[in-house]
Structure 1
Amino acid sequence: MAHIAQPLLIRQIILYIKGQSGLPVYVGYLFAVGLCISAILQAIIHQQILFRNSRMGMRVRNALSSAIYRHLLTINTAALHKTTAAQMVNLVANDAGKFEELSIFVHTLVLALLEALGTFALVWWYIGLPTVFGYAVLLLLVPIQFIFSRKFSQYRKTTMACTDKCVQMTNELVNGCQIIKMYNWEKAMEQRVLEARRRELLNIHKVSCLRAVNTALSFAALPLISLATFGGSWLMGQTLLPENIFTTLAFFVMVRVSVTVGMPQAIEKFSEARVSARRIDQFVQLNILSNKREKMENENEDYVIIMKDASFSWNDTPSLISVNLKIRSRNLVGVKGAFGSGKSTLLTAILSEINLVSGQLRLKVNSISYAPQLAWVFAGTIRANILLGKAMDEERYKNVIKACCLDIDLQNFSEIGDLLMIGDKGVNLSGGPRARYRLLVLYTLRLTYIYSTIHLLPLIQR
């Protein structure tokens, strides 16, 4: 209402200046004050709308990021091969953010329609039939916006595919940089990266050109609409009065901002958000684990793991068939078998990271600690890698280090001891088998220090 009131107040001020209103002097000042107040109210309301839309968009982005992460934790390991780490990073970093960008303009679609209808009625009231000529030009811009929307969707889909490939390629190059250096593949890999980046930039350039045309069209809309309206009025022989001209221009400026500036941006963001929604939906459609694990309470207290005719499967073919197993509490149990016999799959079944097809799996646990065969050590001190954010228990910490026979190695680090900084994946530890042994000892320390009902530790060859 504050927006629509401004052209009406401008008309009254012009009539007052022309001396045709017949109103007292103070009324003209009231119109001017009202114009200032309406402009201030419009600015306040507009900023409040942007603030609340931005807050809503931030919440939507955080909710989507959390949903993607939670779904990632429940995806079947076999289904993870259908996606890549680069795609998952893009889902959180880019696709979820598109909904936040859309939220800023989401009200524009409704606001533009209401303002266009309200402005049409008011302009028709003042100048009559020539309003149709101006709105005919305005309506011609609508199908053009839909064409731009389709193009934005196509370019967005292609760009995101190129971005996924670039991120995945860069990740592979970083992980395999030593092999690339050894075989002198730097130039070849550089050309591949540059080619992938060139395709991505080509699509970004097309989007930028399309956005420039769309923006130029939005600025050219007001002169074209005014030309059609006042040209039609002149051809019909109507007299162009100042109050009608300025009022009509003010209404057209109001409509231009919402219809030819706000709506194109809203359509562009909506197109990008729709592509992102499809990408997120494809990720959500990945198969998840069917958790049929039962938790024991106050029964069979001597056993912490019970399997009865349990069969487990990654996909459709069972990997473990009719497993019967009972493990007592406070026991050290070792599993021995040939390569590929299912030792790691058994540990994965205890972790409920594989589908339980039939039978029963019953656990009496509060928590499970697991160290995968691929060692994970982050950049930090040895103590930080062992504690993993847990509170420091000095006595238990010393007993664990002594039990794992790492006290001698720490003494070799002189006064630094367990405060020695190690790089990502333990790169600055001594090379060869000794480095793998220390990583194994570090994993054993980590699992021993954490209070858990069950500790699972696959054997790492050294």
Structure 2
Amino acid sequence: MCLEGLIRYFTPSDSRVSSTEAYLYAAGVVGFMAINAAMMHPMLLWLLHISMKIRVACCSLIYRKLLRLDLTTGKASEGLVGHVINLLTTDAQRFDMACMFVTDLIRTPIESTCIIYLMYRQIGVASLVGVAFLLLFIPLQAYLGKISSKLRRKTALRTDNRIRLMNEVIQSIEAIKIYAWEEAFGRIIQKARKKEMNVIKKMSWLRAVMISCVKLNTKVAIFLSIISFLSLENGLTAAKVFVIFTYYEMLKYTLVDFLPLAITFTLEAYVSLKRMQEFLLLPEIENSDGVNLQVIDDKKLMQTKGVFEKIGNGHQTYIKSETSMDQIVTRPEVLVSMNDYTAYWRSSEDEAVERKVLALKDINFSVKPDSLTTIVGTVGSGKSTLLQAILKEISPANGEIKVSGVVAYASQEPWLFEASVRQNILFGQEMDLRRYKQVIKCCQLKKDIEMLQHGDKTVVGERGTSLSGGQRARISLARCVYQQADVYLLDDPLAAVDAKVAQAMFDECIRGFLRDRAVVLVTHLVHFAKHADHVCVMKGGRIAFQGSYQELKGGVNEFEKLVESGEKADEKKKEVSTTFENSDGTVLEPLHKDSIANINLLPYIDGIF
């Protein structure tokens, strides 16, 4: 209206607008634009703030779900890394655009109705012709938005598959390079990427069609409205033309530009929401450890004894703690108790067969304070699964398990994050310098740290790639031992080092530093069971025999076979030749001279040439 009055003032044939009114019209044009800018930008900032909160909340929810996820189910374990990465990046970001445009679904009908009414006051029935042409495209836009959401789901699934393949290739890159499999795996990844790109191209063509419609239909609607207005024998002035163009520009802004985007982004966010819902509904392990994942209490800090070190801004400060870490508390008679415990591996393909894959069967097991329990058995007998059950990473089908006190765990495959050696050992705990030095010594890491360029402040690579296998295993063990726990679960930590270092770690760490703690040691080195208070022999997911070392050796044939096989393996190592030991404690296995001729060098030759 202000624009129409301003144009009429500059029209020579129309002298009904005075100079004062023209200034008022001009002030109205500028003022309404300023009001629009003053209201629009704070609203956009508020929408961005809300979208950021939603995205962060979804990422936090996914992280907390991962802490409770039951990894025994097929849906949770198959391609989990790629799926979670896609949820945290692509799917979570969909809420940013959806929050920006979801208000247009409400604003567009109201604003469009007001604009159509004002256009009707200007050119009458002719305005309805152009508006009807625009409205005809709304069902098409909704249909194209629905197709876009389907393509978005297909793209997400294929992106999950590609990320899973890339993660597996990166983890196995050493073997791929050794066997010169780069081209083969490159073709596999290229094929997965091609499938993903096919769907992305379809989405791009679809968006091109939608944008073309946006650019074209507004111009056609203006042409139809002006032709209809002239066909009704009405006079067309410059003021009416400018006003009609302005109204259609506003209608294009709401009805044509932002409504299709609002529909598309809302449907894509709905697809992402469904994917997150599917992930959040996956089975969880039993939450009976008293840890509240919804509230993080920063006030509960671990108290230390003696001198500990705080590091900040490159400076070292030594402060003495006020309370004791080793304060004597009343401990229960039994720390871990399992009664008729039975668990199964579950299948994602058929829920009816979930109880046919046995994990553990009729386990009766207990751990007492200040005791060393050794679990032995053949490969695949269920030793590591028993530790997973104590950690409550497996949901029981029958029986019960009770765990009292704090549990520390050292996995069979050591895991390190990209930080310094000290940070990998402390793992977020306060530095107790006396305990830290004791842990370094008993885990046989002192010489290794002295050889590193920056000592224990040396930054290891991703997954500890700059360290050897023996060093990674000992750092993982040191992280577990440094924790103040009542029960220490050690999953074969002596297998990655040679016999000399393994014996020193067993004597100084397990029997020495942890002598007043409950330790559950899984090992293939049966001769270490001589010093255990309790020995369990696993077979087929069951505890076949348990008792003291002398009882089992004198009356259990299977245990005697394990002992004999261990002794023969030790004798064979001595007969072969002298072993060569790295500085990190790992052993270089010597070769039989008869076996050198049997080595196949073709993969390595192919890789060179």
Task: Indicate whether the TM-score tops 0.5.
Answer: yes
Task: Report the counterpart of residue 342 of structure 2 in structure 1.
Answer: 311
Structure 2: gaps of 5 or more residues: 292-328, 347-353, 497-609
Question: Where does residue 472 of structure 2 map in the other structure?
Answer: 439
Q: Partners in 2 of 1:17 and 1:424 — Cα distance?
A: 71
Residue 11 in structure 1 maps to residue 4 in structure 2: yes
Report matched runs for 1:124-203 at 5 Å: 124-203=120-199
Aligned partner (choices 397, 405, 408) of residue 369 of structure 1:
408
1:426 Cα deviation (Å)?
A: 4.1
3-state SS of paired residue (2:372): coil
Q: Does structure 2 conserve the Cα–Cα contact (< 8 Å) formed by 1:293 and 1:362? A: no
Q: How does 1:334-345 map to 2 (within 5 A)?
A: 334-345=374-385
* Aligned-partner residue type, residue 391 of structure 1: E
Q: Residue 397 of structure 2: SS of its match in structure 1?
A: strand
**Match for residue 454 of structure 1 among 465, 487, 497:** 487
Residue 415 of structure 1 deviates from its aligned partner by 7.5
Residue 116 of structure 1 deviates from its aligned partner by 1.3
Q: Name the CA shift for 1:324/1:299 in 2 (closer, same or farther; >3 Å).
A: farther
Q: Which stretch shifts more, 179-188 or 345-354?
A: 179-188
Residue 456 of structure 2, aligned match among 393, 412, 418:
418
**Deviations 1:102-140, CA, capped at 9 Å, x for gaps:** 111111122211111111222222322112211111111
Cα distance per residue 1:330-370 (max 9 Å; x no partner):
333222334333322221122111113343322322x3221
For residues 428 and 277 of structure 2, the distance between their equivalents in structure 1, rounded to whole angstroms, comes to: 35
Amino acid in structure 1 at the alignment position of 2:153: K
Decide whether aligned partners of structure 1 residues 188 and 308 sit closer, same or farther in structure 2, where only a CA change above 3 A counts. Answer: closer
| Alignment partner, residue 574 of structure 2 | none
Shift of 1:34: 1.5
- Output the CA distance in 2 between the equivalents of 1:301 and 1:417: 40
Residue 48 of structure 1 pairs with residue 42 of structure 2: yes
Instruction: Mark the CA change 1:200 to 1:43 in structure 2 (over 3 Å): closer, same or farther.
Output: same
In the alignment, what sits opposite 1:109?
Answer: 105
Q: How many Å apart are 1:232 and its aligned residue?
A: 1.0
134-143 or 393-402, larger mean C-alpha shift: 393-402
SS at match of 1:334: strand
Q: Which residue of 2 aligns with 1:39?
A: 33
Contact 1:294 1:361 (8 Å CA) reproduced: no
| Aligned AA (1:356) | P
Structure showing the higher helix proportion among its residues: 1
Distance 2:87 2:206 in 1: 24
Residue type of the alignment partner of 2:376: K
Mapped to 1, the partners of 2:449 and 2:128 lie a distance apart of: 86
Whole-angstrom CA distance in 2 between matches of 1:117 and 1:188: 60
* Counterpart position of 1:61: 55
**1:405 equivalent in alignment to 2:444:** yes
Task: Judge conservation of contact 2:5–2:17 (CA < 8 Å) in 1.
Answer: no
Per the TM alignment, residue 190 of structure 1 is displaced from its structure 2 partner at its CA by: 2.1
More displaced 10-residue stretch of structure 1: 319-328 or 217-226: 319-328
Unaligned segments of structure 1, at least 5 residues: 1-7, 430-434
Deviates more, 1:170-179 or 1:86-95: 170-179
1:330 aligns with 2:370: yes
Instruction: Output aligned runs, 1:209-224, within 5 Å.
Output: 209-224=205-220
Q: SS at 1:109's partner residue? A: helix
Q: CA deviation at 1:392?
A: 2.0
Q: Is the 8 A contact 1:310 1:322 kept in 2?
A: yes
Q: Is the 8 A contact 1:307 1:362 kept in 2?
A: yes
> Greater CA deviation, 349-358 or 86-95?
349-358
Judge which range, 237-246 or 259-268, deviates more: 237-246
In the alignment, does 2:386 pair up with 1:392?
no
Q: Distance in 1 between matches of 2:191 and 2:360?
A: 45
AA aligned to 1:402 is K
RMSD, aligned CA: 2.6
**Corresponding residue to 2:72 among 78, 85, 93:** 78
Q: Kindly provide the amino acid, as one letter, of the partner of residue 379 in structure 2.
A: F
CA distance in 2, matches of 1:127, 1:426: 74
Give the Cα separation in 1 of the matches to 2:196 and 2:172: 23
Shift in alpha-carbon separation, 1:48–1:204, aligned structure 2, 3 A: same
User: 1:21-47, CA deviations, whole angstroms, 9 ceiling, x for partnerless residues?
Assistant: 856532321221121010011112111
Q: Contact 1:314–1:355 (CA<8 Å) still a contact in 2?
A: no
- Give deviations 1:124-164, integer Å, cap 9, x for gaps: 22322112211111111112212321231233223223322
| Equivalent position of 1:27 in the other structure | 21
* Contact 2:387/2:489 (<8 A) preserved: yes
Q: Which moved more, 1:375-384 or 1:226-235?
A: 375-384
1:440 partner letter:
A
Residue number in structure 1 paired with 2:392: 352
